[in-house]
Structure 1
């Protein structure tokens, strides 16, 4: 016996015997179709909102740790001088330049690897365009006020080119590429100092680089490379005991070395050493990022005290 057919027939007979059954049957499809339409509209609206959100966030480089590599050197640079609007403008341009280099580099790497401007290469290049426009808006007044910043731009572009070559030959996430990023980040510290002390116009006659600024630049590079080693020990080198102890040993040397320069650097390097020893693989990237943000804050405070 077909149970489904029998049950259906029984339901039809039962409904047919009831007063007003015909009207109920006529109204039911209408109600059901309206419900389906409403559900479809709600789903489409939700998908549209999610699509707009994905479109907006797709223009933000997903390398969250890189933002600390941009902000920390700027903050350290600002601790070495008095406030300067031109230096603040440079800071904005410095941050905006990162997405230009990130998406532009990915576009060029894809173009070189695949031999043509593929859809992916064009998409990455398109994401660089709004940032490039913003960089031009910020960069023009900077060049007018400090023309010698063109030379700094050439240095930065050269380092960026080295990073692109490493990406093509090895990997975007290669340790050597992280070293290049650290070197690039260090450029910001003396540049902020030079902008603040230089007179407007052509090539400036700068005073000798203060010893404190030199040490601040070196400390920034050492701290950021320690961040690279520590994060790699938790993620890409998770389970590699040798790499973990390499990171710990590096932080010990950094702490002792800069404590001899001035005790104030202990404020920045001691928390970094503690987290290098204590943390183990298994943490979510978001948690690691939050901890690194706190470490960066300690380091900037140390730079203020050491200055």
Structure 2
């Protein structure tokens, strides 16, 4: 596949999938979810190409991916709104967050913390979209899963930075550890007890892993395992 078509932001794949699964299974899986995920996937691919073009101005690389993904996304998005017009009410929430991404892409500062946090909230909003598509009615449940998604992925942002770009930053390490310990306390106070085990695992990860010699690839592989642990536990606790 030519450069520009496939995102190289490997950590985004979990954020693309997990909030969607939260919302889908919290309501109920329906056939509309197939079309919704296809649209969501295309929206991510299009936004990646667009943001990279905004950052680099390399039109020859990113114009074609934007055209391909955009031409597929428009009819699918239109069909989704025809099949479930209520989805249109959720679209405006994505816009300001995407504008934050555009701002940092234009300044070539995509790794800025605020940009990462805007992406976390943006991806987590898919909990509500998938929940709406499944005909869910308990919006308090959806909000709880949305909140948990934000808290989990925010912790992942801090942790990954301590493993790569801020590996030798003692202040960042302390902040990451304190955040994960606070998340464990929050889990004990606000979320079902079944989530305490994976949250404790994440806290141990935040304390221990930055002191190891894990490579970037090994860190990424382990993050997949942690994501599966979190997603599986949440689905068992909230859906089973």
Fold match by TM threshold 0.5: yes
Q: How does 1:214-253 map to 2 (within 5 A)?
A: 214-253=143-182
Q: Give 1:61 shift.
A: 0.8
Q: Is the 8 A contact 1:106 1:124 kept in 2?
A: yes
Q: How does 1:1-307 map to 2 (within 5 A)?
A: 55=2, 58-111=4-57, 120-169=58-107, 171-197=109-135, 207=137, 209=139, 211-261=140-190, 262-280=192-210, 282-307=213-238
Q: Is the 8 A contact 1:108 1:121 kept in 2?
A: no
Q: Is the 8 A contact 1:234 1:282 kept in 2?
A: no
Q: Give 1:58 shift.
A: 4.2
Q: Is the 8 A contact 2:54 2:105 kept in 1?
A: no
TM-score if structure 2 supplies the norm length? 0.90
Measured in 1, the distance between the counterparts of 2:141 and 2:195 equals 12
For structure 1, list consecutive stretches of 5 or more residues without a partner in the other structure. Answer: 1-52, 112-119, 199-206
Moved more, 141-150 or 219-228: 141-150
Measured in 2, the distance between the counterparts of 1:270 and 1:92 equals 34
Q: Is the 8 A contact 1:251 1:273 kept in 2?
A: yes
Moved more, 243-252 or 75-84: 75-84
- Superposition RMSD on alpha carbons, in Å? 1.9
**What per-residue deviation string (whole Å, max 9, x for no partner) do you get for residues 125-175 of structure 1?**
222222222323432321110123234333323321121112334601111
Q: Give 1:282 shift.
A: 4.0
For structure 2, list consecutive stretches of 5 or more residues without a partner in the other structure. Answer: none
Measured in 2, the distance between the counterparts of 1:268 and 1:134 equals 38
Q: Is the 8 A contact 2:4 2:62 kept in 1?
A: no
Q: Give 1:103 shift.
A: 0.8
Q: Give 1:122 shift.
A: 3.5
Higher RCO structure (Cα 8 Å, ≥6 apart): 2
Q: Is the 8 A contact 2:55 2:108 kept in 1?
A: no
**What per-residue deviation string (whole Å, max 9, x for no partner) do you get for residues 80-132 of structure 1?**
11211112321221122111011112223444xxxxxxxx1342122222222
Measured in 1, the distance between the counterparts of 2:16 and 2:188 equals 25
Q: Write out the 4+ residue segments of structure 1 that deviate beyond 6 Å after TM superposition.
A: none
Measured in 2, the distance between the counterparts of 1:166 and 1:104 equals 13
Measured in 1, the distance between the counterparts of 2:218 and 2:59 equals 32
Q: Is the 8 A contact 2:4 2:49 kept in 1?
A: no
Q: Give 1:74 shift.
A: 0.9
Measured in 1, the distance between the counterparts of 2:216 and 2:168 equals 16
TM-score if structure 1 supplies the norm length? 0.71
State the secondary structure of the residue aligned to 2:28.
Answer: coil
Measured in 1, the distance between the counterparts of 2:4 and 2:108 equals 25
Measured in 2, the distance between the counterparts of 1:271 and 1:295 equals 8
Measured in 1, the distance between the counterparts of 2:144 and 2:91 equals 23
